[in-house]
């Protein structure tokens, strides 16, 4: 099934290439044409992302008696999101030079704190599709990455609220968004896997459409109805959490016919392939201005004022731009590899390293952060470096997945070398059967005491 990884990676790159050509192809087209196409692509990608997140929710199982573990998972996810953010923000503030008329001092730091957040989130949709394509959907890695990816996306969305406050001041509309996020979390927790609903791909696509329509409807309500009349700001709810909650509340299906599973598998491949293409198509133009149309009238990436052009915004040479993108990308990966230092009691070092690489792919949420930053005035060199870093990360997604596959295969090979333990002379003072309380690993060399009996566990002879 590894061929799907190459397919998905190729579609990402093709979509990215087309996204860069569209502004030039539509130069003479009316703004409404470009805007309508942009919105349509975005909405379709939201529907398919919702489909993927709903399926992720179908397979999530939370042990409510072990909340401490999920608190640990959230802290790990928060760290995995915070380190790339801090690295990116510091690099943008101290290393990337500002453009000629850009802000300085504390104002520049505020902008870099917001812009650097694009490096924090993991693309849950891209990650789940790729791991499934690589045949790792039943692994410890997949189950753990599923939780961490959702947590760090949630952490990114929540932290965007105070960061936006810092730049544009408090807005009561953000409180509405925060209330809705808390409501979704409560519903998912209260009604986990208790609601009976159809779960075939047609119905799941319908659920995804309704979630996307609801989120976009709230955005349009604020921008086109309430803003002109009451000066209400943007109310934007990402589809990630509500879509995931739909999957979480759906009752589990234990018995499914082979024909049904086969049809679902085919549909999942087609939908994931379409989603990868749309993620690439959703990338903003890197080297040319795009028409200034966007939902709500906000300017989008690298589109300046009427009397300016891109060259006045980006003062870096091509070589400098490549250098900054390279080092920014390295810092983003290093930050995500913080997962390697966790879960030492649950997984081998290879699985933990694979988990770190699994958290590296960015996508729709990272692009959304850049759009928010551009919409409130961030521009120039830091926008160019951030967008190119995100584009390079998209193209590296297949490489990350191949590294994960290699590490997991290596781990399986090492585990297969474990030889059966030789039974030693064990002296017990009771008639109760003996048991080994710890999972055996090649490194195990311990003396386990169980009541009045002792078992010596030895590693294989080297």
Tens-place pLDDT, residues 118-151:
777 777 767 877 888 788 878 888 888 888 887 8
pLDDT digits (tens, 9 = 90+) for 229-258: 444 445 566 787 888 899 999 988 766 678
Contact call for residues 222 and 234 (beta carbons, < 8 A) = yes
> From CA 353, how far away is CA 404, in angstroms rounded?
8
Which CATH number is 3-415's, of 3.30.1450, 3.30.780, 1.10.10, 1.20.1530?
A: 1.20.1530
| Cα–Cα nearest to 360, from 205, 149, 164, 212 | 149
Query: 3-class SS at 455?
Result: strand
Query: In angstroms, how far is CA 93 from the centroid of its own chain?
Result: 24
What is the C-alpha separation between 394 and 362, in angstroms, rounded?
7
DSSP assigned state of 222: I
Q: How many CA atoms lie within 13 A of 158 on its CB side?
A: 15
- How deeply is 171 buried, as exposed, middle or buried, from its count of CB atoms within 10 A (0-12, 13-18, 19+)? middle
- What's the predicted TM-score (pTM) here? 0.67
Q: Please report how the helices 67-94 and 318-336 are oriented relative to each other, as an axis angle in degrees rounded to 10.
A: 160
The alpha carbon of 333 is separated from its chain's Cα centroid by a whole number of angstroms, namely 13
Measured CA to CA, the distance from residue 135 to residue 139 in angstroms comes to: 9
**How far does Cα 158 stand from its chain's mean position?**
14
Q: Which of 129, 105, 133, 113 is nearest to 56 (CA)?
A: 129
Q: Print pLDDT tens along the chain (462 aa).
A: 447 777 877 887 888 788 878 777 777 767 667 677 878 888 888 898 889 888 878 877 777 777 888 889 989 988 888 899 899 999 988 898 886 666 677 778 888 887 888 777 777 767 877 888 788 878 888 888 888 887 887 777 777 777 767 766 666 667 777 888 889 989 998 999 999 999 899 999 999 999 999 988 887 776 665 554 444 445 566 787 888 899 999 988 766 678 888 888 889 889 888 888 887 787 666 555 555 544 434 333 333 344 334 444 567 788 888 999 999 999 999 999 988 998 988 888 999 999 999 888 876 666 666 666 665 666 678 877 887 887 788 778 888 888 998 999 998 888 777 655 444 444 444 455 444 444 444 444 444 444 444 444 444 444
Residue 455 has phi, psi (to 5 degrees) of -125, 130
Q: What is the pLDDT of residue 317?
A: 82
Report domain extents, the chain: 3-415, 420-462
Count CB neighbours of 427 within 10 A: 7
């Amino acid at each position: 099934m590894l061929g799907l990884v190459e397919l998905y990676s190729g579609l990402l790159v093709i979509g990215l290439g087309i996204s860069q050509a569209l502004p030039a192809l539509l130069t003479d087209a009316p703004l409404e044409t470009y805007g309508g196409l942009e919105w349509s692509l975005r909405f379709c990608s939201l529907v398919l992302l919702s489909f993927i997140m709903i399926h992720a929710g179908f397979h999530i199982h939370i042990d409510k008696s072990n909340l401490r573990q999920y608190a640990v998972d959230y802290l790990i996810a928060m760290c995995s999101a915070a380190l790339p953010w801090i690295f990116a923000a510091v690099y943008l503030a101290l290393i990337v030079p500002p453009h000629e008329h850009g802000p300085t001092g504390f104002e520049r730091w505020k902008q870099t704190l917001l812009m650097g957040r694009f490096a924090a989130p993991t693309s849950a949709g891209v990650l789940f599709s790729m791991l499934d394509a690589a045949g790792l959907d039943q692994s410890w890695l997949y189950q753990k990455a599923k939780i961490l990816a959702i947590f760090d996306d949630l952490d990114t969305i929540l932290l965007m609220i105070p960061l936006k406050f810092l730049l544009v001041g408090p807005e009561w509309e953000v409180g509405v968004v925060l209330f809705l996020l808390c409501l979704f979390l409560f519903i998912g927790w209260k009604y986990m896997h208790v609601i009976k609903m159809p779960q075939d791909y047609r119905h799941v696509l319908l659920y995804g459409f309704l979630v996307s329509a609801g989120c976009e409807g709230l955005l349009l309500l604020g921008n086109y109805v309430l803003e002109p009349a009451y000066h209400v700001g943007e109310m934007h709810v990402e589809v990630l959490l509500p879509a995931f909650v739909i999957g979480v509340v759906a009752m589990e299906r234990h018995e499914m016919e082979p024909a049904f599973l086969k049809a679902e598998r085919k549909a999942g491949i087609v939908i994931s392939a379409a989603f990868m293409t749309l993620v690439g198509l959703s990338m903003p133009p890197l080297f040319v201005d795009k028409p200034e149309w966007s939902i709500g009238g906000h300017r989008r990436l690298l589109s300046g004022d009427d009397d300016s052009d891109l060259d006045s915004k980006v003062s870096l040479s091509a070589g400098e731009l490549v250098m900054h993108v390279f080092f920014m990308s390295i810092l983003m990966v290093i930050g995500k590899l913080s997962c390697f230092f966790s879960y030492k009691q649950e997984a081998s070092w290879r699985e933990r390293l694979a988990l770190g690489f699994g958290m590296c792919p960015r996508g729709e949420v990272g692009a959304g952060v850049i759009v928010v930053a551009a919409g409130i005035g961030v521009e120039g060199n830091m926008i160019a470096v951030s967008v190119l870093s995100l584009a390079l990360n998209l193209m590296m997604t297949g490489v990350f997945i191949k590294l994960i596959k290699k590490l997991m295969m290596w781990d399986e090979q090492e585990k297969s070398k474990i030889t059966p333990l030789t039974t030693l002379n064990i002296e017990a003072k009771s008639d109760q059967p003996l048991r080994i309380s710890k999972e055996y690993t090649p490194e195990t060399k311990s003396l386990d005491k169980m009541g009045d009996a002792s078992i010596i566990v030895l590693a294989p002879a080297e």
